[in-house]
């Protein structure tokens, strides 16, 4: 049943994520299901045991508070809600862990918070709640990215007091999509003819059954995607002056990202820490 949940989430639910990030999840899932070789492996090659996953992926580090009272929370890899130990061992981050660590930093008397972000984004479910917690700014907060801060990760970081990015870091990808795949031709090739029986007026009940969508079903999903995008855009606009031209789903970096107000400053980790210390000092005065 666990794979059933994962398959539904991966292929039939809306995502705040880059296409390349979603494809990586798709590839890992198919390799686990034995449908696609992982990496350079040939078909039939045994997959790594779950216990060895930590040797193959960068592991998310837990929250720390340094001697100056600066808390660091890591937002790494694909983001989701209710992730399994295996998914986390593959480098994913659970929204619940991020939320718990932010609250823990506040409870332990941290003076400021660094969100250390390297993520292509993740599921829609869990993103707005985490973003609102960050935007509440219980602590002076700086989001720092040295590599990738896209889609759901950008949604979360947008409400920080400041975003500092390395010049080569990639940010943005403000958008949402459902990775629908029409597999009706495959079903027909197998000799099946879908004929679901639904209640009268329930034309959306069997949405996608048989591998294709009716016009009404596609319109319904389009409305869902548009609503999720508007929530994303409105959140960004509440905290940042990002123009519509930078919210077409594209990524930006360096001076382009700075000009679009996707970030506040180009700099390294020490620059992000310096920015946070200035915010802490300003809040005290």
Q: Which of 151, 253, 260, 275 is catalytic?
A: 151
205 is catalytic: yes
200 is catalytic: no
Q: What is the maximal distance between C-alpha atoms in the chain?
A: 73
Q: Which of 20, 108, 168, 205 is catalytic?
A: 205
Tokens 């034995």 belong to residue: 34
Catalytic residues: 151, 205
């Amino acid at each position: 049943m666990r794979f059933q949940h994962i398959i539904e989430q991966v292929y039939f639910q809306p995502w705040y994520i880059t296409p390349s990030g979603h494809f990586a999840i798709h590839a890992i899932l198919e390799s686990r299901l034995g449908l696609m070789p992982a990496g350079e492996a040939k078909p039939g090659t045994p997959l790594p045991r779950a216990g060895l996953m930590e040797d193959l992926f960068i592991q998310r580090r837990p929250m720390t508070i340094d001697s100056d009272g600066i808390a660091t929370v890591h937002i790494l890899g694909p983001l989701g809600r209710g992730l399994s130990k295996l998914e986390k061992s593959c480098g994913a981050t659970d929204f619940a862990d991020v939320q718990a660590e932010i609250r823990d930093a506040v409870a332990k008397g941290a003076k400021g918070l660094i969100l250390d972000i390297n993520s292509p984004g993740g599921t829609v479910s869990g993103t707005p709640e985490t973003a609102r917690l960050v935007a509440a700014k219980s602590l002076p907060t700086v989001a720092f990215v040295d590599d990738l801060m896209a889609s759901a990760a950008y949604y979360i970081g947008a409400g920080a007091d400041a975003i500092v990015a390395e010049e080569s870091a990639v940010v943005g990808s403000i958008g949402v999509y459902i990775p629908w795949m029409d597999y009706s031709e495959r079903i027909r090739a197998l000799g099946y003819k879908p004929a679901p029986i639904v209640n009268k007026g329930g034309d959306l009940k069997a949405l996608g059954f048989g591998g294709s969508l009716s016009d009404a079903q596609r319109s319904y999903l389009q409305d869902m995607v548009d609503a999720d995008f508007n929530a994303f855009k409105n959140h960004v606009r509440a905290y940042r002056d990002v123009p519509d031209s930078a919210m077409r789903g594209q990524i930006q970096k360096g001076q382009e990202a700075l000009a679009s107000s996707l970030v506040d400053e180009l700099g390294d980790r020490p620059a992000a820490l310096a920015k946070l210390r200035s915010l802490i000092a300003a809040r005290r005065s």
